[in-house]
Amino acid sequence: MSVFVSISPHTSLPLPEADDITNSRCKSSQSDHSRTAELTPPNSSATLSPLSAALPSHSNLHSFLLLSAAKMAEAFVGTWNLKNSEKFDDYMKELGVPFATRTVGNMTKPTTIISVEGDTVTVKTQSTIKNTEVNFKLEQEFDETTADGRSVKSLVRIQDGKLVHVQKWDGKETSLVREVNGNALTLVNTQAIVIMFVKFPN
């Protein structure tokens, strides 16, 4: 049965019954719920904001930073031949290298080959006496056995455009700083050794 409300002496409009109002509200609620379900991804307990969805995960960000650092190391890529060195014998004495080994070391003309593959840097040193190879990721500590037989903990990073290589062993520490200027690569360390390399085929 409908209820009529008088608006003017000559006009009256029907009002919906209480049951009709309740049914209408239920249908509206169900419709809103359906629209929400359509916008929510399946198997999702929460809706991410567009900004959150666009941000890389921690592991992806770490990988991106490693690759970016390795990209900067590409300035050092190449084959480098020894041109001259200063105070190398003093450096070996400081490290405790025996006289016979120092004599051979002073006569050696090593070639250094630096390459980058993904986030990994490889440094090879080749000579008529001994060949060495070390592979590492920038900003990550690694174990290294040096040409003179020391077992060290090493860490390499790019700093002010220079390749800084820090070695620690038995409470001691030394750093090897490589810098490229054109076709020349200079290697300097904390003991003031200066070694100059030139890029092959110069």
Distance (Å, whole) CA 177 – CA 76: 12
Task: Walk me through the domains of the chain, giving residue ranges and CATH numbers.
Answer: 75-199 (2.40.128.20)
Q: Is the pLDDT of residue 38 over 50?
A: no
> Chain-wide mean pLDDT for the chain?
76
Distance (Å, whole) CA 168 – CA 162: 19
pLDDT digits (tens, 9 = 90+) for 73-99: 999 999 999 998 888 888 788 778 888
pLDDT digits (tens, 9 = 90+) for 147-180: 888 899 999 999 999 999 999 999 999 999 999 9
Contact at 8 Å (CB) between 88 and 127? Answer: no
Task: Quote the tokens at residue 172.
Answer: 């001691």
Residue 129: what residue type?
A: I
Q: What is the mean pLDDT of residues 96-109?
A: 82
Residue 187's CB: how many other CB atoms inside 10 A?
19
Tell me which of 163 and 2 has the higher pLDDT.
163
pLDDT category at 51 given cuts 50, 70, 90 is very low
Q: Quick one: pLDDT at residue 135? A: 97
pLDDT category at 66 given cuts 50, 70, 90 is low
Question: Is pTM, for the whole model, over 0.85?
Answer: no
Q: Is the pLDDT of residue 122 over 70?
A: yes
